[in-house]
Structure 1
Amino acid sequence: MDALPMDALPMDRPALMAALRARIGRLERGGAAASLARAAAGTVALADSIDAALPDGGLARAGLHEILAAEPGAATGFASLILGRASAMPGGNAPILWIGPDPDAWPSGLTRYGLSPADLVMVRAPRPSDALWAMEEALRCPAIAGALLTLSDIDLTAARRLQLAAEAGGALGLLLRPDTEEPGPSAALTRWRVNALPGLGGTQHNLGDPSWSLDLLRCRGGQPRTWTATWRTTLDRLDTEGDTTPMPATRRRRA
């Protein structure tokens, strides 16, 4: 699937809506089978210890999840891992939308986390209202496996609309936001904080496998927890070391 040409993206709101509505309409016409397959899958598996702590046995599809970026590169990697696994379907990969005021993700670099550039549609939406509209329409589309929205602030009403859209369309939605002192209330099923740790197995010319500190700050039907996670690039596997008890209150004071 071809992405919108970047030089054609700076456009007025009606043109942006018309172009994206046409793209989503084409996807919807062939998306019924993919939607059924995602519904059957139910969740996205991350790692055994993480999946065991989540109420659905994995990260629930047809829902909104929030990632607070304590370190932007680490948060982008974690989000890419989730979206890559959300995209994988028995009959072939389904599309992923990456939406933001100026999407700066490097598609070729995301392949190390299993997110193929061939499945990725980058959507530039400079105004928050356009970005929220694009995200809501994407989540309602049965042919789309997942969508990510980078946005600094979002009110509770808008977040609830995105959660309802994900439930209606069956897609997995990610909100990627900066980690702030007061992130505010959330309508998402889960809220994570992701920070970077020194890579493992690195050399002078190789940073090694990426390692992250993963804090599950909020989880509907579950308890806050924390893990140290390492993405094994060559094995396509997330290894974890983590607490089996709820996170101390001092660690989740900004949740």
Structure 2
Amino acid sequence: MKNMCRDERISLVRQRLRALDQGCPEVCHPKQIPGLLSGVFKQEAIHELYAADAADAVAVNAFALAVGMLSANGQHVVWALDEMMASEHGDPYGVGIEEMGIDSSKVLIVKSSNIKNLLITGEESLKSPSVGSVIISAWGKSETFSLNSSRRLALAAKLGGATLFCVRAGAEPSPSAAETRWSVKATASTSLAGAAPGHPSFSLTLLRRRGGGELKNWILEWDRDARSFREPAPLSGAVVPVAAQRPAEAWSQRGRRVA
């Protein structure tokens, strides 16, 4: 019965993809993601995004969703989510997706009960002409993520014209056909006016690039209004003045205020 349920899930995914494909105009996918990450994420390929720490699972998924939306160029994004990832860090929240400036109607979320189904969903989605990018998000170690499976996904991405972002949390990198490999973690954001919460901020480390090339680190903010990444604004360096009603003697030589 469990196997039948798994087969039914894949069948439903295929039906939903066929429905998206009906009447889908032919779209020329962008050659590269615009903005600061231009030329970094090769299209029609696999890119691995690893959470720097288990606690960074939410951050790496958020980053994947943002960069996946940019890569999709107005097409649909399929987010295939391992149930273990959802169990550890919660289900995707539609309002939260919209708050990121992403049209949730363009995001098809599929939950998979096992890694094998997760990879099948990713491969099927990459073949769909209505899909611009695919995210597969998994928690923990799994031998199913093999070099052979990544080669199958790489071929599907190349033939289908979409880009795959493979999100891993609680796992160590292993050999794969990925074009790039990244470590992603959350970092402190700069507060907005009125001490409002700042934009989502990420620390990105490029660990590996196929064919060689410079490895570097970025600190980037996601601007939901502009739907783009940007470098954080530099601190002004301004110092809050001492209150006018408090005499200068109220400060000790060590700079601590006297009660």
Structure 2 length normalisation: TM-score? 0.75
Q: Kindly indicate whether the alpha-carbon contact (under 8 Å) linking 1:45 and 1:59 is maintained by their aligned counterparts in 2.
A: no
Tell me which of 195, 210, 225 is aligned to 2:200: 210
Range moving further from structure 2, 73-82 or 155-164: 73-82
Q: Percent identity?
A: 27
AA aligned to 1:166 is A
Q: What residue is the counterpart of 2:109 in the other structure?
A: 122
Does 2:119 match 1:132? yes
Q: Kindly indicate whether the alpha-carbon contact (under 8 Å) linking 1:27 and 1:143 is maintained by their aligned counterparts in 2.
A: yes
| Cα separation, partners in 2 of 1:198 and 1:147, compared to 1, 3 Å | same
Structural RMSD (CA): 2.3
Q: Kindly indicate whether the alpha-carbon contact (under 8 Å) linking 1:85 and 1:114 is maintained by their aligned counterparts in 2.
A: no
Q: What residue is the counterpart of 1:101 in the other structure?
A: 82
Give 1 or 2 for the bigger CA radius of gyration.
2
Q: Kindly indicate whether the alpha-carbon contact (under 8 Å) linking 1:45 and 1:85 is maintained by their aligned counterparts in 2.
A: yes
1:135-194 Cα offsets, whole Å, 9 max, x none, are: 1000111211111111233111111111111001011111110154x4211211111111
Q: What runs of 5+ residues in structure 1 fail to find an aligned partner?
A: 1-9, 52-56, 242-255
Q: 2:219 aligns to what SS in structure 1?
A: strand
Structure 1 length normalisation: TM-score? 0.76
Q: 1:145 aligns to what SS in structure 2?
A: strand
Does 2:73 match 1:84? no
Does 2:53 match 1:62? no
Does 2:181 match 1:191? yes
Tell me which of 141, 144, 152 is aligned to 1:161: 152
Q: Kindly indicate whether the alpha-carbon contact (under 8 Å) linking 1:43 and 1:61 is maintained by their aligned counterparts in 2.
A: yes
CA separation in 2, counterparts of 1:172 and 1:160? Answer: 14
Give the CA deviation at 1:120: 1.0
Does 2:25 match 1:43? no
| Cα separation, partners in 2 of 1:135 and 1:237, compared to 1, 3 Å | closer
Q: What runs of 5+ residues in structure 2 fail to find an aligned partner?
A: 233-259
Tell me which of 216, 219, 223 is aligned to 1:228: 219
CA separation in 1, counterparts of 2:166 and 2:224? Answer: 24
AA aligned to 2:81 is G
AA aligned to 1:99 is A
Q: Kindly indicate whether the alpha-carbon contact (under 8 Å) linking 1:139 and 1:166 is maintained by their aligned counterparts in 2.
A: yes
| Cα separation, partners in 2 of 1:45 and 1:179, compared to 1, 3 Å | farther
Give the CA deviation at 1:215: 0.3
| Cα separation, partners in 2 of 1:141 and 1:236, compared to 1, 3 Å | closer
AA aligned to 2:65 is S
CA separation in 1, counterparts of 2:35 and 2:113? Answer: 32
Give the CA deviation at 1:83: 1.6
| Cα separation, partners in 2 of 1:236 and 1:24, compared to 1, 3 Å | closer
Tell me which of 116, 124, 135 is aligned to 1:148: 135
Aligned residues: 216
Q: 1:100 aligns to what SS in structure 2?
A: strand
Q: Kindly indicate whether the alpha-carbon contact (under 8 Å) linking 1:97 and 1:123 is maintained by their aligned counterparts in 2.
A: yes
AA aligned to 2:202 is W
Q: What residue is the counterpart of 2:237 in the other structure?
A: none
Q: What residue is the counterpart of 1:170 in the other structure?
A: 161
1:176-228 Cα offsets, whole Å, 9 max, x none, are: 10154x42112111111111111112589733122211101111233211111
Q: 1:121 aligns to what SS in structure 2?
A: strand
1:82-126 Cα offsets, whole Å, 9 max, x none, are: 1221233xxxx3211111223522232123444211101111110
Q: Kindly indicate whether the alpha-carbon contact (under 8 Å) linking 1:68 and 1:75 is maintained by their aligned counterparts in 2.
A: yes
CA separation in 2, counterparts of 1:131 and 1:11? Answer: 16
